């Protein structure tokens, strides 16, 4: 993806990364790198998120807000979710990829959606405190962005918890500070706290049938039918919430503005550094596309 931003100086460096009057590296806590990525495989997407985290932890990349898509459609499992929750034959027949996230939660089918990720140092003010403290701050950015689309979004109550009896499908019940519209879950997120950095990413379904995931879960028919009915009443897409189609580009622009306003940050368009590209390629090959990671539970 070209030269590392760290290898460029002066005006050339600024033009490469964005239009800021100040050099983007190093930058103050109020400035964040913005990455607008298109679709990629599940392994590549998870590897890039982790590579950014490594770079942030080492101080060679700033706090980063990233948007991306998925191709082919991909089922992602929570870090500790059983691989047996997904029927491998049915998944393959439907043309869905599979990957295990570095974050918790349950299975998601990534298709017809916009995904965001936020990566910052563990001691960054946005990530200060506990998991729910950061969730709430980032939820304010998500809500502000969605409201720009005409969606009456709000954060779920902080007391909400996904219990041990939760289904294999992530979108059935909103957890604390996930985003809801009239009580129905619109945008789910998950967070990972590692040595030196915090990663949070989440999925905004733009359109389509949210029950498609159920077609490849290992559930008895009666239980699968009940889950389809539950999802219909408890989850919603951006298109249904707004009453009109919402494109990937429109949703991305709105969430960019929402994060910038709610978190009082300046977003500077950028690119992955050469180190991040190298790490992402290694992580995709050796971890996220590797059967040992995917089948770990």
- Helix (H) or strand (E) run with residue 202 in it: strand 197-205
Asked if 294 and 66 count as a contact pair (C-beta separation under 8 A), the reply is: no
The tokens describing 251, both together, are: 């949703």
Positions marked active-site = 170
Cis peptide before 26 (omega within 30 of 0): yes
**pLDDT for the residue numbered 30:** 83
- Written as one string, the DSSP assignment of 67-106 is EEEESS-EEEE-TTS-GGGB-HHHHHHTT-EEEE-SS-S-
pLDDT digits (tens, 9 = 90+) for 87-143: 999 999 999 999 999 999 889 999 999 999 999 999 999 998 889 999 999 999 999
pLDDT digits (tens, 9 = 90+) for 177-213: 899 999 999 999 999 999 899 999 999 999 999 999 9
Domains and CATH numbers, the chain: 5-155+165-294 (3.30.930.10)
The mean per-residue pLDDT over the stretch 220-239 comes to 91
In whole angstroms, give the CA distance from residue 156 to residue 238.
16
∠ at Cα 5 (38, 60), nearest 5°? Answer: 95
In whole angstroms, give the CA distance from residue 15 to residue 29.
21
Q: CA torsion sign, 51 to 95 to 171 to 291?
A: negative
Say yes or no to pLDDT of 13 above 60. no
In whole angstroms, give the CA distance from residue 55 to residue 237.
33
3-state SS, residue 140 = helix
């Amino acid at each position: 993806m070209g030269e590392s931003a760290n290898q460029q100086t002066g005006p050339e460096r600024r033009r490469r990364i964005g239009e800021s009057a100040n050099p983007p590296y190093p930058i103050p806590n109020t400035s964040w790198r913005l990455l607008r990525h298109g679709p990629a495989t599940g392994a590549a997407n998870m590897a890039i998120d982790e590579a950014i985290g490594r770079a942030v932890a080492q101080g060679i990349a700033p706090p980063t807000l990233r948007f991306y898509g998925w191709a082919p459609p991909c089922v992602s499992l929570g870090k500790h979710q059983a691989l047996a929750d997904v029927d491998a034959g049915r998944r393959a027949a439907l043309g869905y990829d599979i990957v295990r996230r570095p974050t918790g939660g349950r299975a998601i089918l990534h298709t017809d959606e916009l995904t965001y990720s936020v990566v910052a140092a563990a001691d960054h003010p946005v990530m200060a405190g506990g998991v729910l403290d950061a969730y709430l701050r980032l939820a304010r950015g998500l809500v502000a962005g969605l409201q720009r689309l005409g969606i009456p979004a709000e954060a779920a109550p902080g007391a909400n918890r996904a219990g041990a009896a939760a289904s294999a499908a992530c979108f059935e019940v909103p957890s604390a500070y996930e985003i809801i519209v009239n009580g129905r879950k619109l945008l789910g997120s998950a967070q990972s706290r590692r040595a030196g950095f915090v990663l949070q990413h989440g999925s905004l379904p733009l359109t389509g049938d949210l029950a498609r995931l159920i077609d490849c879960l290992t559930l008895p028919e009666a239980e699968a039918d009940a889950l389809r009915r539950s999802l219909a009443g408890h989850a919603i897409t951006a298109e249904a919430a707004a009453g009109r189609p919402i494109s990937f580009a429109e949703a991305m622009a709105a969430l960019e503005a929402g994060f910038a306003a709610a978190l009082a940050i300046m977003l500077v368009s950028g690119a992955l550094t050469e180190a991040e590209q190298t790490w992402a390629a290694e992580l995709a090959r050796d971890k996220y596309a590797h059967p040992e990671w995917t089948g770990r539970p």
